[in-house]
Amino acid sequence: MTQPSTKRLLTESAGDARYPKRGELVFNVKDYGAKGDGATDDTAAIQSAITAAAAGNGHVLFPPATYVVTSLNVQAGIILDGYGATLKRPANTPNWTRTITNQNNIYVGDADSTRPIVIRGLTLDGNLANQGTYSGFQLEQAMLVMIAGNTTKAGRECAVIEDVSTVNSPSDGIHILANVDAEIRNCRGVDCFRGGLVFSGGNSTVRVTGYKGSGTIEGAHLDTEIDTAGFGGSYTLDLAVSDSRFLGTIRSMQLEAHTGGRVAITNTIINGGLWVYGGDATHGSGSVRITRCTINTYQATFRNQILNPKDVRIEDCDVYSHNTSGAAQAVRAFEVSHNNAGSGVGDNNLQFVDVRFWAGTTVAGDTRTAVYVNAATPADGAVTIRGGAVASTYDTAYQLFSGGKLSVDHRPRIASTFALRISSNSAAPRLCDVTIGQLVLESTCTTYMWVENSVAGTTVTHLNTVIDEARNALATVTGLAGNTYLGNRVILVAAAPTTSTVGLLGDVARIKVPTAGAPFEWVCTSTRAPSSTWKAKASLAA
């Protein structure tokens, strides 16, 4: 083969950022012998073009075609331009084979690289149907794109991945390891088994915009598993995802945040389940923020789960819970575990701020709960509800199952049958600490609170809570008197309360339209179910 000549681009397409600029060197892979016929192995020819481009600081250009490729090695400063081109993996490619990787040419420096690896416009096809068995993670290290940094130095490998599609992969689509600063823009992942986007290393910063993940095979479209330390032993990942869509039906997003780490998801559609791990005693904890997102969870495959939520805030989101199994299930929009498998760090802080829980696909006989807190103690930390709404298709808005700490305020609009449920696992009863502020109970909310916990020390505190007598139903199977009630509720009544007007100790019954000279307020002097005792407190002046 004759030595190909280096070509300098003399024209450009109306300033289109997708293509090399005028005056830049272009290394066309077909000039180096690549066939692009979808059958010939073009790995060696394309690698020759990459090696030449590395020496000449130029672009590697892939004309539209399908190129069969095993593994290409890139390095800092390399730009791969492949709009309309596909790199397809050969059949039966072994594990640890990465289609594009810098693992043999990792940048080393005390400051971040100033010459990023750039990959643009390519479609990377993992040829999933011809790779043999993969569902047991036999090929989990055979990523389509893998970028890593050198962890002995503070400087990070920098990468820009733009308009890239990763499809039909037995492993990850794009995998970012430790000590990397990456921009991922307008990329797409379809049927990538372990995950379309996977981030597994510390001391890394990743910004994702305009991503679209879809497909039907198992695996999170976005997966953070911080199991590799970066420089200085750091497990910190700073991840920002915006304006993206994760459209699977099985665990679309798995998020971890360790010491100093920050995960922020905004303006994004999350289908198929959200799994959040807030940290543990081994690696510490970071912050997770999910804002202005639409979240769909499918009960038959994976419900939203939050484990060890040291610093997790979900805000201004719409959540839909679906049961597509055809059989009745216990449907929970969010299930919270403060001390997962004994790994909790205590003093957790999980906030739902202006989160709206809506109807999804239902099955007759479902029991549906918006926020379900599982087996906790007050010392584990609080779940805070501020504002938002719960639709009438839910049986219960907020439930503590066998202990925990819950705060509800800022007027959430509750249309579920039960507003609050304080329950206990009789085999392992735990304390509950509940604080309730201002609520808006819709006409479909027929029971204010269901109390199944009478563990000594359980406390329910009301802070100027006002409810109408039509919503003032309290249900109990253990009795109300065993708990401690602080503060008071104001119950708006049409007439003087009777023993059948259910009250908690300290509650105030107030006439909606008082009559001059007649009592208009009464105080509850005993807490019993189904009857209570009331004493006149004040009369309206004549």
Q: What pLDDT sits at residue 443?
A: 92
Q: Which pLDDT band holds residue 91 (cuts at 50, 70, 90)? A: very high
The amino acid at residue 160 is V
The C-alpha atoms of residue 271 and residue 260 are separated, in whole angstroms, by 28
Residue 183 CB burial class (10 angstroms; 0-12, 13-18, ≥19): middle
DSSP assignment of 92-145, as one string?
Answer: TPPTT--SEE-TTS----SS--SS-EEEES-EEE--GGGS---TTSTTTT--SE
Per-residue confidence (pLDDT) for residue 514, from 0 to 100:
87
With 80 as the cut, is the pLDDT of residue 6 above it? no
pLDDT at 479: 65
Give, for 425, the enclosing helix (H) or strand (E). Answer: none
**Average confidence (pLDDT) over 234-241:** 94
What share of the chain has pLDDT > 90, as a percent?
A: 57
Work out the pLDDT band at 297, boundaries 50, 70, 90.
confident
User: Looking at residue 376, what is its pLDDT?
Assistant: 80
Q: What tokens appear for 220 in the block?
A: 């999170």
pLDDT in tens, 349-395: 999 999 999 988 888 888 899 999 987 888 888 999 999 999 999 99
| Residue 3: pLDDT over 80 | no
248 vs 166 pLDDT, higher one? 166
Whether the per-residue pLDDT at 1 is higher than 50: the answer is no
User: Could you give the 3-state DSSP secondary structure of residue 379?
Assistant: helix
Helix (H, G, I), strand (E, B) or coil at 342: helix
Q: What is the predicted pLDDT for the residue at 381?
A: 85
Instruction: Quote the pLDDT of residue 9.
Output: 47
Query: Which tokens belong to 364?
Result: 């007759």
- What pLDDT sits at residue 10? 39
Give how far Cα 293 sits from Cα of 195, 268, 372, Å. 20, 5, 20
More confident residue, 271 or 37: 37
| Of residues 280 and 50, more confidently modeled | 50
Closest CA to 149 of 80, 231, 259: 231
Q: pTM for the whole thing?
A: 0.91
